[in-house]
Amino acid sequence: MPSSISTWGSSVVETVWSFLSGLPWDVIAIQTINGIVTGMILALVASGLTLIFGIMDVVNFAHGELFMLGAYIGVVVLAASGNFWVALVVAVLTVALIGAALQIATLRPLVGRDPLTTILATFGISLVLQNYALWHFGPVARKIQEPFTGQFALFYLQYPWYRLLIALLSAIIIGGLWAFLKYGTYGIWIRATTQDRVMAQAMGIPVPWVHTMVFAIGAGMAAASGVLFGPLVGVSHTMGLDWVLKAFIVVVVGGMGNLGGSIAAAIFISLLEAYASIFVSPAQAVIVSFVALILTLLFRPTGLFVPTPK
Amino acid sequence: MSPPLTPLDPLIVLEDVHAFYGKSHVLHGVSLTVGPGEVVGLLGRNGVGKSTTLKAIMGLVPASRGRVLFGGRPITGLPAHRVARLGIAYVPEDRRIFRLLTVMENLRTGLDRQGVDEAKRKRLIDKVLEYFPVLGERRNQAGGTLSGGEQQMLAIARAMMLEPKIVLLDEPTEGLMPRMVSQIGTIIEVLHREGVAILLVEQNVPLTLASSRRVYFMEKGTVRHHAAAADLEVGDAVIHQYLGV
Amino acid sequence: MTAAGLVDDPSSAGTGRGGTSAAPLLSTAALTVRFGGLAALNGVDFEVRRGEIRAVIGPNGAGKSTFFNCLTGVIRPTAGRIVFNGEDITGLPPNRISQKGIARSYQITNILPNATTLENVRIAAQSRRHAWSMLRHHADFRDLMDRSEAVLASVGLVDKAHELAANLSHGEQRNLEIGIALATEPTLLCLDEPTAGMSAAETHDTMELVRRIAEDLTILIVEHDMHVVMELAHRITVLHYGEMLAEGTPAEIQENPRVQEVYLKT
């Protein structure tokens, strides 16, 4: 008896082993890293989006354009100053201010109205920003030079250090946001307003300004993503479109308003796509994101990374 | 029966305040006053508009007609966060503490304002923890994990962080166990000693009569009767008329 | 029907005031609703006779809404039974309950704002007659129109028949709400705080309305306005923390010391 089990057992082990050793581990490792890198950028974009939704129930269709605007400002400032980091900082601050101005001018007057009106408003803003960029910068894609070139050997590839830097910086920025929300004065305002807008007001928290602040933070984060990711793709007036769609998928899969969830979802979805690209073309690999979205909506509509509501 | 002494220099005045929830005309002209440091009761059955009156003072519900005056200044139409900073604190009916914030963070929501430096913060927090030691024990626990009575204490402590001149208390004994009711009475007394005025909305008659100086009775969206608490007893006909069956 | 016949004749068809038929129209046995550990209703035994106007009152959290929700199929009871017209209707969904003859008006108005008053009532009436007839024009159904107009008359909205429902005053909208419930030809009408948010004048009008329609109906009414309750109800049921505290005529309830205690929290 024992010997038949052990022979059966060892043949299972052999099959599994031969399958595993047949897998292209180097490709898998590379794709894992790629997935994490893309995932971190996506997390940066998505966390701004989910923050905005969580606190003021606004679905910001202009988020991709704020990303794009950040990238373009990065291009301009980089050309003027020659310094990538200066470009990054200036882009973030400028877009944050633009975001605040947009929120005050177009979204504040719409508070309390049908949510469809805010969706239309942000969609309108996205069209305006896209066409402005097209008009001002022209249809030819621009390039942002990464702050340093330099690669290291990763299996059979020469892998750029810059890509790792992006992941690291995104993690730092998101970590900073988390710390700000947890410990900062305004962080408490934001969290209180997200939980109970009415009581926050009754405690003297100026809720309209908190909304503006959150929108500005979200916009700034989108801009940072734009500048950081700029060197990897081209900077064009339509670059926001791909990203906003992915970001929305991430926000839904991660749970709307759930910051930790959207970060987890961003990495999860990016990894899925990265692994899928091993077998199919990247254009087709995008399908897995949509499959994830549909499955989430069917079975866990509040978000995959959200504890089941009681 | 001596006539109730309405304060000469009132802290809060409502003049014929009307309010709607959508099309529902909930306040049909409410007029009342609260003097500085005074405890005033607002009694009435469910649905007569007591909570809405507090919300109208706080600016959480707009007054379609009439005025609200605070220290002589009209505050009708001001957004709630401005009203809070002027010195009016609100403790709503379902407590509404921030469930995902810790006890300390709940208190901090009232402390992050102008004129409160580190020393003052410490003083205010220490004072309130003296009154509510159980909050100190649970300082880093999320608000949602506290019991009903503890949440009520937190809601009141949070309001005190605003250093208010008046606290609007909406049915503080609602849903609490009987022995907690007497604790609420003590808390009201403490606030009174601190010189804070209280507008106490309640359905608990004995507590209200014991704590208040004057009592208003509401029915169908208006104030129908007004008397000194000292002149009222639980068994009185007027109590039955406005609260009983 | 003479006055004597209204009150004392046990063999009358059951439409007299105070109820005269032998079996209750609606009864509940040990009706219980638990939400997690909390019993919103705890073993409520309730009976209402045909033709009665019964008010259900109680302080905050007494379980009045939960009770109504059970009767109208919005909530499934955790335990216990509901028997209507001799039939067990426990756990039936709201549409089936409506077909059995229980109608309800809601606190938050459910009227169709962009339809006229008459259309609102007609649409409700259609659920009872000609519901599946799709090829003929609605105006062809004379009985339907007659019924709708009769309902409008009983809720006092005849002269607003062609007014958009959104343009009615709050009191008129609440009365339309009652009209919509009436149009479904119920045997039992459940009114949920019908005078909430009304002025004294509107409240008076609604009370008159309820008296008028009570002629051939049995009515259950949840109310906070004690004046309305005392004036309208034949009998009153008092709930407290999900249990039946007392039941009786208005006079009996007013003199019940337990009820006073509960309301005044003494």
Helices B148-160, B178-193: crossing angle, 10 deg rounding: 10
Residues of chain B with pLDDT under 70: 1-4
In angstroms, the CA C140 to CA B30 distance is 51
Looking at 3.30.390.30, 1.10.10.10, 3.40.50.300, 2.40.160.40, the CATH number of the domain B12-101+164-242 comes to 3.40.50.300
Distance CA B155, CA B160 (A): 9
Distance CA A72, CA C21 (A): 83
DSSP C224: S
E-strand stretches of B92-243: 166-170, 197-202, 214-219, 222-228
**Could you tell me the maximum CA-CA distance found in chain C, to the nearest angstrom?**
64
Q: What is the nearest CA distance from B154 to chain C, expressed in angstroms?
A: 23
Three-class DSSP category at C133: coil
Residue A210 has φ and ψ, to the nearest 5°, of -65, -40
Interchain proximity B245–C254, CB inside 8 Å: yes
Interface size B-C, in CB pairs within 8 Å, comes to 70
Chains with 3+ CB–CB pairs under 8 A to B are A, C
Q: Please report the pLDDT score of residue A157 as a whole number.
A: 77
Residue with tokens 């020659």: A82
Of A188, A204, A205, the CB nearest to B105: A188
> Which residue ranges in chain A fall short of pLDDT 50?
309-310
Looking at the complex, does the CB of residue C259 fall below 8 Å from at least one CB of chain B?
yes
- Predicted confidence at residue C225, as pLDDT, reads 87
Determine, for residues A188 and B109 on separate chains, whether the beta-carbon distance falls below 8 Å.
yes
Report how far residue A218's alpha carbon sits from residue A215's, in angstroms, rounded to the nearest whole number. Answer: 5
Q: What are phi and psi of C11, to 5 degrees?
A: -95, 5
Query: ipTM score of the complex?
Result: 0.91
Rounded CA gap, A79 and C170, in Å?
65
Instruction: Cite the DSSP H helix spans in A146-235.
Output: 161-183, 185-195, 197-202, 207-229
The H or E element spanning position A293 is helix A287-299
CA gap C186, A117 in Å, rounded: 41
- Return the SS3 of B233: coil
**Exposed, middle or buried by CB within 10 Å (0-12, 13-18, 19+), for C239?**
buried
Q: What is the pLDDT of residues A33-60, one digit of tens each?
A: 889 988 998 999 999 999 998 888 888 9
Q: Where are the domains of chain A?
A: 25-299
Q: What is residue C61's predicted lDDT score, i.e. its pLDDT?
A: 77
Contact between residue C56 and residue C228 where contact means Cβ atoms under 8 Å apart: no
Measured between beta carbons, the chain A residues lying within 8 angstroms of B61 are none
Would you state the structure tokens that stand for residue A263, as one six-digit string? 């970060």
Optimal mutation site among A183, A190, A199, A259, interface B, most CBs of chain B within 10 A: A199
- Spatial distance between the Cα atoms of C228 and C221, rounded to a whole number of angstroms: 10
Neighbouring CB atoms inside 10 A of C121's CB total 29
Contacts of C among chains (3+ CB pairs under 8 A):
B
CB-based contacts of B218, cutoff 8 Å, min separation 6: B30, B42, B43, B44, B48, B49, B50, B53, B224, B242
Q: Which residues of C touch B43 (CB under 8 A)?
A: none
Pairing type for strands B166-170 and A151-154 reads: unpaired
Contact at CB, B174 and C265, closer than 8 angstroms: no
Do A145 and A78 touch, CB atoms closer than 8 A? yes
**Is B231:B1 a contact under the CB 8 Å cutoff?**
yes
Find where tokens 């506290």 sit.
B146
CA distances from A208 to A103, A107, B106, B239 (A): 10, 10, 20, 43
pLDDT of residue B2: 54
Tens digit of each residue's pLDDT, chain C (266 residues): 333 333 443 443 434 444 445 689 999 999 999 988 888 999 999 999 999 999 999 987 788 989 999 999 999 999 999 999 999 999 899 989 988 999 998 877 788 999 999 999 998 888 777 667 777 776 677 888 888 999 999 998 999 999 999 999 888 888 999 999 999 889 999 999 888 878 888 899 999 999 988 888 999 999 888 889 999 999 999 999 899 999 999 999 988 989 888 887 76
Contact between chains at A195 and B158 (C-beta distance less than 8 A): no
Chain length of chain A: 310
Cβ distance A149 to A162 under 8 Å?
yes
Residue of B nearest to C237 (CA): B245
Phi, psi (5° rounding) for residue B200?
-105, 110
Q: Is B33 helix (H, G, I), strand (E, B) or coil?
A: strand
Strands B73-74 and B214-219: unpaired
Q: What is the pTM of this model?
A: 0.82
Q: How many CB atoms lie within 10 A of CB A254?
A: 29
Class of domain A25-299: mainly alpha
Q: Beta B63-70 vs B166-170: how paired, if at all? A: unpaired
> Among 3.10.150.10, 3.40.50.1360, 3.40.50.300, 1.10.1060.10, what is the CATH number of C1-101+187-266?
3.40.50.300
- Domain coordinates of chain C in residue numbers? 1-101+187-266, 106-185
pLDDT at position B3 is 52
Question: What is the C-alpha to C-alpha distance for residues C104 and A231, in angstroms, rounded to an integer?
Answer: 65
Name the nearest CA neighbour of C73 among C97, C46, C42. C97
- A198 closest CB neighbour out of B60, B105, B108: B60
Q: To which residue do tokens 């003083």 refer? A: B123
Residue A150: burial class (beta carbons within 10 Å; 0-12, 13-18, 19+): exposed
What would the pLDDT profile of C195-232 be if each residue is shown by its tens digit?
Answer: 887 888 889 999 999 998 888 899 999 988 888 999 99
Nearest CA in chain C to B47: C224
